[in-house]
């Protein structure tokens, strides 16, 4: 296979440390996951990895204009080009630096690959007792066509601290880029994190994005994933609650068309009592697009008094679109309230008639209802600019005539 | 929670987890048993003992060869020591007169067995309108009401008899729903099945009574591999029940059945199971391994409804499924699965929507107590051509005590835009406020839990035919003894 | 304005309207009363064009044009407004956005320029005052979490914004307390003109204490069995429906 050989050639030339070498060997033993792997049964990497790639190649600089074009225009910006940190804001009580090596003890093949090949990414540490009011924008730019690149990032939110991020990956002058990103997040006691991922890259881009969140007591983490662009997207979002009264919230929107595929895998591991999790994922699938949802909630023995709620709602709007949904509950404690709901269907006929009786044409009514359906998951985004952007992207992709300002 | 209530719940749990299996006796009847192990020779022996035609022997050998190349599945969320398939006796038949003139000629010991089980096979004294076929170990020993059924053209007999007397039907439909190579256990069953029930309802006939098969494993170390084939011809209707028990034994016994249902155009099949194989003792010793493949196919406008109350077995691996091939066909699955002590169950259903306007409903209720683990695993697949199809699924789990587990693994695949799927799942325990409310109205905690559990299962129990609903309710009581009554 | 002739309609094979005739002229208020299940809501759904109902026979003309050939939105563009008995919730769409869309869709159909946002907001403020609606209401999602009274008020608010020619109020009074009823009725009265008409569908005559109808019709078993002045409503209130329905039953028997 194409990419596997490239990886072998690349690693043979590099002087990998013993740890990295062994991680890579571990990866190479089975290679990329296939649809025989339960966690990948609906998502085939075959096409993505059969292409020709360079590995961790570096291209050109990015101009100020280009940054402006793709930025939300927030005050604090962290800019990385082809993985390299090139610009960072100065913020009191927060240290931001380039990639630093760290180990994460997961058993995921792609994390092992990331660990062994990664050279780039960011390291952010928010000191204790710090509240950063202004959200921080993290912009990853890629400039090399046919590149397979690893980002490896780590964020620590100190005790009693609060911070918000927006992360976006953008290809410039290139399209076929395959990113394998891994982000490790530590939420210390009583900290609060909001992390927004805007996935709206170019039509031939591929992304595997893994975020592992480790939460201590009384911490709250909110992760929002907004998928609009890109050809192949696989998100692995994992939460581990290691302290009482922790809360994990996640919202997701996928609006896909053409041959897009988006696979959202989420996992909440309730390892401590008195914790909560809330999950709302909405999918709208047009044309030949394909959606996958796999949400797992695990409640460990002795993790009593857990409230876990999960919902996955899908609209299939084309004959050729498909959805595979697998919500899972694994419960080993009895005093818990866990539920998941999953619906797949079309727009509510009553609502359609209601709108038409108010003079709104059928197609427009359908588009508005679709917008309304998806935008519910936007309501939990607290950064106005992100919510507005999300609505705008939604309106554009659904081609509805709505004013998102009123 | 008050200390007193905590105490009463602890006592309750203790009672729940130490309830004894009431069907754990053995019957002293002489058996015709072949040596342990599975070889081609054993397959040939079974076929020979049953005086089978060549096509049946070929079918078995083909299955045996397929099985040799297959691996035992391990994707289910259950842990057990895989049986040594060479340590199982594949054929054991009670030694009795080969052909009975009437049920009065039944071995008195065997008759006693059925009396203990509460099954009356005396046609004159029957209170319910149920025709019974009884399979002990591997052989069908008695079928009642044959004449009444024959008048309507209904065939209800052991599958061995069907192979001899109705070879055309058997040839046409055997393995038409569950192919030999479908899975490890279906291949094994196809190679060695020794008996089971066969039923054919002719065109337009509404079966006048419930048909029932009662399965019992008796002989030590035997596996039970029964095969059920039920064909409802166009526009016919039938309700079929099966029940199962086994004696208490220290070692695990293997039960690997295959059930195939064929509902032709406009036919309606209701298939109910009360499964109460020996679950093992409270330390997890012994018990039946229940690895069953059940599947039905619906042609145009046909309907198959599965209802199951699963309380027994040490390990259960079972997914009664519907292939909704014909347009407007309907599949239903109603299930209560109770696990206690160290029992493990991985059960659910598959609804495969192929025809247009097909509908399916899944109601699965799990109750886990003791240190047991209950899993719901289900697939709803709506293919591209199954336009305007509907599925509704509801999977609820009730946990009793903090040592048990309950898990839900639904798979939902939709390939067209005019269909709708709704899936809901909840996990909870019996609410303290519910118990308090009952307490306040003078209902003791134990009775309150009984009430609540019963209410929780009601949607499913209501689906059972009257005669079985009572039995199922009793079984729930026994399985969660002390908490339900 | 509206001419319904021998209308037979129903759901699937179940015929609910069995030959209904009704004529409404501009400037008139008609009340249609009748016991439960008589076909009142079916009538409103058929006029508005709900596709769940099938018209088997008869005609509905609106300003001399066949209404049955038109889609629900086209009927709305012509000036037919239905106040729903159970207004639908549309989470994610604000009241203002919804109304803006429906006004502009109508304008588009009529070839009029879109209403600008400032003009729209001005108009909204005006009409809100008329119905004693509070400010924060515009940014709430359509009917989501609204009380019964708020939903009905929202319907009348939309009616005010869209200024239809023919308004059908389907059980608008059900679920309203006396204050809300007064506000809604007040709104309807103020919106009344010589150019528009209103059909009030109701089970009780309560709403008719506040809105005076020109005609009262009794709908029973899919037909109008009695028509009269507003006195008929009072008579129904005191005597119930039995006395007329029995007569009708006899006649049909």
B415 at interface of A, judged by CB pairs closer than 8 A: yes
Interface contact B410-A328, CB threshold 8 A: yes
Domain boundaries, chain A: 2-346, 351-406
A278 token code pair: 């809330």
For the segment B453-469, the average pLDDT, to the nearest whole number, is 79
Residue C115: predicted pLDDT? 87
Percentage of residues of chain B with pLDDT beyond 70? 75
B286 at interface of A, judged by CB pairs closer than 8 A: no
Task: Count CB pairs under 8 A between chains A and B.
Answer: 116
Which candidate, B183, B210, B162, places its Cα nearest to that of B74?
B183
**Among residues 179-198 of chain B, which lie with CB inside 8 Å of chain A?**
none
Least confident of A327-331, B281-285, C116-120: B281-285
Rounded to whole angstroms, the Cα distance separating B247 from B216 reads 8
Domain enclosing residue C152, as ranges? 2-252
pLDDT tens-digit readout, C132-141: 888 788 888 8
Residue in A with minimal Cα distance to C110: A359
Pairing verdict, β B197-201 and B227-232: parallel
Number of domains in chain C: 1
Q: How confident is the model at residue B131 (pLDDT cuts 50, 70, 90)?
A: low
Contacting chains of A (3 CB pairs or more, <8 Å) are B, C
Task: Quote the distance between the C-alpha of residue C136 and its chain's center.
Answer: 26
Number of domains in chain B: 1
Please say if the pLDDT value at position B108 is more than 70.
no
Whether residue B244 lies inside any domain: the answer is yes
Which residues, in sequence order, are bridge partners of residue A197? A167, A225
Whether residue B14 lies inside any domain: the answer is no
Q: What distances in angstroms separate CA C19 from CA B340, C31, C52, one per listed residue? A: 64, 18, 19
* Alpha-carbon gap: A308 to the closest alpha carbon of chain C (Å): 23
A122 token code pair: 């960011």
Residue B12: predicted pLDDT? 45
Interface contact B424-A325, CB threshold 8 A: no
Residue A9 makes CB contacts below 8 A (sequence gap 6+) with: none
Whether residue B314 lies inside any domain: the answer is yes
Rounded to whole angstroms, the Cα distance separating B240 from B230 reads 9
Please say if the pLDDT value at position B7 is more than 60.
no
Whether residue B475 lies inside any domain: the answer is no
Residue A7: predicted pLDDT? 94
Domain enclosing residue B299, as ranges? 31-428
Rounded to whole angstroms, the Cα distance separating C39 from C172 reads 16
Which candidate, B81, B14, B25, places its Cα nearest to that of B285?
B81
Contacts of A318 in chain B (CB under 8 A): 417
Interface contact A359-C100, CB threshold 8 A: no
Residue B238 makes CB contacts below 8 A (sequence gap 6+) with: B199, B201, B207, B211, B230, B232, B268, B269, B270
Residue C150: give its domain's CATH number.
Answer: 3.40.50.300
Contacting chains of C (3 CB pairs or more, <8 Å) are A
Residue of C102, C114, C117, C124 to mutate, testing the A interface (most A Cβ within 10 Å of its Cβ): C102
Residue B22 makes CB contacts below 8 A (sequence gap 6+) with: B478
Residue C157: predicted pLDDT? 92
Task: Quote the distance between the C-alpha of residue C209 and its chain's center.
Answer: 18
Task: Write down the pTM of the prediction.
Answer: 0.82
For the segment B176-184, the average pLDDT, to the nearest whole number, is 92
pLDDT tens-digit readout, C3-43: 999 999 998 888 999 999 999 999 999 999 988 889 998 99
pLDDT tens-digit readout, B406-429: 999 999 999 999 999 999 998 888
Is-contact B316 B281, C-beta < 8 A?
no
Q: End-to-end alpha-carbon separation of chain B, Å?
A: 24
């Amino acid at each position: 296979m194409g990419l596997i050989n490239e990886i072998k050639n690349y690693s043979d030339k590099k002087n990998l440390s013993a740890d990295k070498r062994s991680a890579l060997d571990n990866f190479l033993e089975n290679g990329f996951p296939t649809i025989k792997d339960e966690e990948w049964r609906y998502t085939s990497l075959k096409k993505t990895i059969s292409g020709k790639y360079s590995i961790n190649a570096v291209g050109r600089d990015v101009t100020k204009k280009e940054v402006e074009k793709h930025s939300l225009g927030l005050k604090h910006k962290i800019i990385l080009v082809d993985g390299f940190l090139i610009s960072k804001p100065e913020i009191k009580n927060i240290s931001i630096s380039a990639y630093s090596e760290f180990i994460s003890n997961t058993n995921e093949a792609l994390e092992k690959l990331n660990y062994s090949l990664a050279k780039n990414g960011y390291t952010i540490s928010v000191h204790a007792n710090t509240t950063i009011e202004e959200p921080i924008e993290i912009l990853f730019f890629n400039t090399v066509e046919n590149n397979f690149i690893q980002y490896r990032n780590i964020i620590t939110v100190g005790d009693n601290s609060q911070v918000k991020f927006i992360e976006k990956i953008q290809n410039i002058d290139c399209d076929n880029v395959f990113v394998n990103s891994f982000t490790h997040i530590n939420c210390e006691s009583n900290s609060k994190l909001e992390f927004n991922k805007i996935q709206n890259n170019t039509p031939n881009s591929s992304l595997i994005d893994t975020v592992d969140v480790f939460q201590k007591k009384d911490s709250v983490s909110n992760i929002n994933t907004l998928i609009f662009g890109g050809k192949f997207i696989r998100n692995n979002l994992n939460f581990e609650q290691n302290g009482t009264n922790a809360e994990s919230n996640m919202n997701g929107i996928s609006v896909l068309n053409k041959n897009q595929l988006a696979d959202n895998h989420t996992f909440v591991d309730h390892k401590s009592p008195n914790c909560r999790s809330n999950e709302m994922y909405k999918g709208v699938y047009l044309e030949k697009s394909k959606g996958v949802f796999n949400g797992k909630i695990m409640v460990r023995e002795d993790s009593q008094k857990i409230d876990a709620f999960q919902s996955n709602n899908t609209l299939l709007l084309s004959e050729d679109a498909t959805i595979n949904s697998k919500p899972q509950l694994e419960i080993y404690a009895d005093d818990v309230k866990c539920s998941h709901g999953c619906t797949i269907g079309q727009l509510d006929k009553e609502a359609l008639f209601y709108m038409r009786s108010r003079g709104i044409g059928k197609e427009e009514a359908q588009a508005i209802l679709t917008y309304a359906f998806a935008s519910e998951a936007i309501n939990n985004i607290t950064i106005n600019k992100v919510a507005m952007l999300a609505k705008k992207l939604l309106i554009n992709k659904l081609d509805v005539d709505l004013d998102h300002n009123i | 929670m008050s200390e007193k209530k905590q105490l009463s719940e602890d006592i309750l749990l203790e009672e729940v987890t130490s309830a004894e299996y009431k069907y754990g006796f053995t019957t002293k009847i002489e058996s015709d048993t072949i040596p342990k192990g599975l070889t081609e020779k054993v397959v040939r022996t079974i076929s020979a003992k049953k005086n089978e035609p060549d096509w049946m022997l070929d079918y078995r050998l083909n299955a045996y060869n397929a099985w040799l190349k297959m691996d035992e599945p391990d994707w289910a969320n259950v842990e057990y020591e895989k049986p040594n398939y060479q340590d199982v006796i594949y054929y054991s038949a009670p030694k009795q007169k080969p052909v009975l003139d009437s049920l009065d000629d039944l071995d008195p010991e065997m008759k006693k067995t059925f009396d203990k089980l509460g099954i009356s096979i005396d046609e004159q004294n029957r209170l319910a309108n149920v025709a019974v076929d009884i399979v002990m170990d591997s052989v069908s020993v008695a079928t009642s009401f044959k004449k009444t059924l024959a008048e309507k053209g209904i065939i209800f007999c052991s599958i061995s008899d069907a192979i001899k007397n109705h070879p055309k039907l058997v040839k046409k439909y055997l393995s038409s729903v569950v192919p030999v190579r479908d899975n490890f256990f279906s291949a094994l069953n196809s190679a060695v099945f020794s008996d089971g029930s066969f039923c054919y309802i002719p065109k337009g006939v509404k079966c006048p009574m419930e048909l029932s098969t009662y399965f019992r494993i008796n002989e030590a170390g035997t596996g039970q591999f029964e095969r059920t084939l039920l064909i409802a011809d166009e526009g016919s209707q039938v309700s079929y029940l099966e029940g199962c028990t086994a004696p208490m034994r220290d070692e695990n016994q293997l039960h690997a059945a295959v059930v195939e249902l064929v509902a032709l155009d406009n036919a309606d099949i209701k298939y109910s199971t009360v499964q109460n194989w020996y679950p093992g003792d409270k330390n997890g010793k012994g018990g039946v391994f229940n690895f069953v493949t059940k599947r039905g196919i619906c042609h145009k406008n046909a309907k198959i409804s599965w209802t199951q109350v699963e309380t027994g077995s040490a390990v259960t691996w079972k997914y009664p499924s519907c292939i909704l091939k014909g347009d407007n066909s309907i599949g239903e699955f109603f299930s209560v699965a109770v696990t206690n002590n160290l029992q493990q169950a991985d059960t659910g259903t598959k609804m495969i929507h192929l025809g247009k306007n097909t509908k399916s409903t899944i109601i699965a209720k799990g109750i886990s107590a003791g240190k047991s683990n209950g899993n719901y695993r289900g697939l709803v697949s709506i293919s591209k051509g199954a336009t305007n199809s509907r599925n509704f699924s509801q999977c609820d789990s009730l946990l009793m005590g903090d040592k048990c587990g309950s898990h839900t693994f639904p798979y939902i695949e939709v390939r067209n835009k005019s269909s709708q799927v709704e899936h809901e799942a909840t996990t909870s325990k019996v609410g303290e406020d519910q118990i308090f409310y009952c307490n306040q109205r003078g209902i003791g905690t134990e009775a309150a839990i009984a009430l609540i559990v019963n209410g929780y299962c009601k949607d499913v129990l209501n689906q059972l035919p009257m005669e079985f609903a009572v039995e199922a309710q009793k079984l729930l009581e026994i399985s969660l003894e002390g908490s339900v009554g | 304005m509206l001419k319904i002739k021998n209308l037979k309609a129903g759901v699937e094979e179940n015929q609910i309207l069995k030959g209904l005739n009704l004529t409404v002229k501009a400037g008139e208020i008609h009340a249609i009363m009748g016991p439960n299940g008589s076909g009142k809501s079916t009538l409103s759904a058929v006029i508005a064009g709900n596709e769940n109902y099938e018209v088997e026979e008869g005609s509905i003309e609106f300003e001399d044009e066949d209404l049955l050939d038109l889609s629900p939105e086209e009927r709305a563009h012509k000036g037919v407004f239905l106040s729903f008995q159970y207004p639908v919730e549309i989470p994610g769409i604000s009241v203002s956005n919804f109304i803006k869309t429906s006004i502009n869709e109508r304008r588009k159909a009529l070839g009029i320029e879109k209403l600008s946002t400032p003009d729209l907001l001005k108009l909204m403020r005006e009409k809100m005052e008329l119905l004693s609606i509070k400010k924060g209401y515009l940014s709430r999602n359509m009917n989501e979490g609204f009380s019964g009274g708020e939903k009905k008020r929202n319907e009348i608010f939309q009616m005010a914004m869209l200024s239809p020619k023919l308004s059908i109020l389907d059980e608008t009074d059900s679920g309203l307390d006396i204050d809300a009823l007064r506000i809604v009725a007040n709104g309807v009265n103020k919106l009344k003109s010589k150019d528009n008409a209103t059909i009030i569908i109701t089970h009780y005559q309560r709403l008719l204490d506040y809105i005076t109808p020109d005609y009262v019709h009794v709908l029973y078993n899919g037909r109008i069995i009695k028509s009269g002045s507003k006195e008929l409503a009072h008579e129904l209130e005191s005597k119930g429906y039995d006395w007329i329905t029995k007569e009708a039953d006899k006649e049909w028997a």
